[in-house]
Amino acid sequence: MSRLARRLVLIAALAAAAAAHAQTPVGDYHQHVFSPEDIQLAGPDAGLVPLDAKDVIGLLDAAGIRKGTLLSIAYMFGKPGRQVEDEIGQVRRENDWTMREAARYPDRLVAFCSFNPLKDYALRELERCAGTGRARGIKLHFGNSGIQLDDPEHVARLREVFAAANAANMAIVVHLRASIGKRRPYGARQARIFLGRLLPAAPDVPVQVAHLAGTGPGYEDPPAHAAMAVLAHAAEKGDPRTRNLWVDVASIVDPAIGADDARLVVETIRQVGVQRVLYGTDAAQGANLRPRAAWAAFRLLPLTDAEFAQIAANVPPYFTAPASAAGRSAAAAPE
């Protein structure tokens, strides 16, 4: 049997195990949808297929999950070095499409807009999305957008975006991991800059760090471990800058996770506080685990039943508050 075939068999077994287990997460707080324009932009070699809200709802239903957060991938149109005709128009159309998709299931899905925060249109697009009343927040992808937290100009610009999101009551989901392909510096130093310079600029809104500060799939990423350790230590110590900090575990646990990485994930979850941890699965594309199998894989971690139950029950403030006030329902820091 080939390696791929063995993996598919294992995934099927995990999915069956998940179905037999009554406890499932309330929500999947890290999902993406893909428009035809996204597929065209990525090109045929990317192996992506169109994926809309109906498809996501089907995946959530199969996992017994009620809620989902749709994160726009409009930032892809602003990737450094990418030449896109009518870039701002493409970004706007992608954000509008994502908001319309979420609106097809208003009792189950919420939408986040996205853009490259270094672009000159970033603040205008944030204000526009907030003004629609259909977006609960913004998704920032530091790696794809070429952000380097060692660059003071980048940090200054990000502080403007964080402050504008705070003023507009827009939550923030951050893919904090710097570009792996370009080997950008990333680790404890960059996490300290994020903690000291960016979080204080958005003190009133939930800030959700994706992938436990990594990228996935998997968690074999020592720089991400170092970055997350800084944030987890600050949360554990009750640092006021982490008052509204959340983390999601999208795509970091799969059936092949090593014992050391599994222990590290558990230690990090306990240090940051299970009250802050959100379940998520990332894009339902390619070899990524779908929500049902991903939850079963996550259940392989050596957490207690009570800890799994807490994570499964967690709902971020942006999901329970009206869009116009999503940011002001602050998460209480764990005692």
Is residue 92, in this structure, part of any structural domain at all?
Answer: yes
- Cα 41 from chain centroid? 21
Q: What value does the mean pLDDT take over residues 302-314?
A: 97
Nearest CA to 215 out of 280, 125, 274 is that of 280
CA atoms within 13 A on the CB side of 48: 17
Q: Residue 2 has what pLDDT?
A: 52
pLDDT of residue 321: 72
326 occurs within a structural domain:
no
CA-CA distance, 298 to 242, in Å (whole number)? 25
Residue 321 per-residue DSSP state? S
Position 329 scores a pLDDT of 38
In a domain, 8, yes or no: no
Range of the domain at 285: 24-321
Q: Is a pLDDT exceeding 90 seen at residue 294?
A: yes
Asked if the structure places residue 7 within a domain, the reply is no
Q: Which residue bears the tokens 């991938």? A: 73
Q: Tens digits of per-residue pLDDT, 212-262?
A: 999 989 999 999 999 999 999 999 999 999 999 999 999 999 998 999 999
Model confidence over 151-181: pLDDT tens digits? Answer: 999 999 999 999 999 999 999 999 999 999 9
Please say if the pLDDT value at position 269 is more than 80.
Answer: yes
Q: Tell me the C-alpha distance between 318 and 78, whole Å.
A: 26
Average pLDDT (205-212) is: 98
Report the predicted TM-score, pTM, of the whole model to 2 decimal places.
0.90
Residue 103's pLDDT band (cuts 50, 70, 90):
very high
**Mean pLDDT in residue range 20-36:** 86
Handedness of CA 225, 76, 108, 328 (dihedral sign): positive
* Percent of the chain scoring above 70 in pLDDT: 89
Mean pLDDT, the chain, rounded, equals 90
- Report the SS3 class of residue 114: strand
For the cut 80, the answer to whether the pLDDT of residue 323 exceeds it is no
Which whole number is the average pLDDT over 39-68?
A: 92
For residue range 79-99, what is the model confidence (pLDDT) as tens digits?
A: 999 988 999 999 999 999 999
Residue 9: inside a domain: no
Q: Between 38 and 209, where is the model more confident?
A: 209
For residue 55, count CB atoms less than 10 angstroms from its CB and return exposed for 0-12, middle for 13-18, buried for 19 or more: middle
Average pLDDT of the segment spanning 104-116: 98
Instruction: Answer for the pair 28, 37: CB distance below 8 angstroms, yes or no.
Output: no
pLDDT for residue 203 is more than 60:
yes
Q: Which residues share a beta bridge with 112? A: 71, 137
Query: How many domains in the chain?
Result: 1
Residue 196 has pLDDT above 90, yes or no: yes
Indicate the SS3 state at residue 193: helix
Residue 185: pLDDT above 90? yes
Q: Is residue 283 part of a domain?
A: yes
Number of H helices, E strands in the chain: 12, 8
Q: Could you identify the residue written with the tokens 């502080």?
A: 159
Q: Could you give the CA distance from residue 300 to residue 265 in angstroms, rounded to a whole number?
A: 11
CB-CB contact of 95 with 139 (8 Å): no
pLDDT interval class at 31 (50, 70, 90): very high
Does 221 map to a domain?
yes
Question: Is 329 a member of any domain?
Answer: no
The reported pLDDT for the residue numbered 9 is 47
103: domain CATH number is: 3.20.20.140
N residues, the chain: 335
Q: Give me the mean pLDDT over the 268-279 stretch.
A: 98
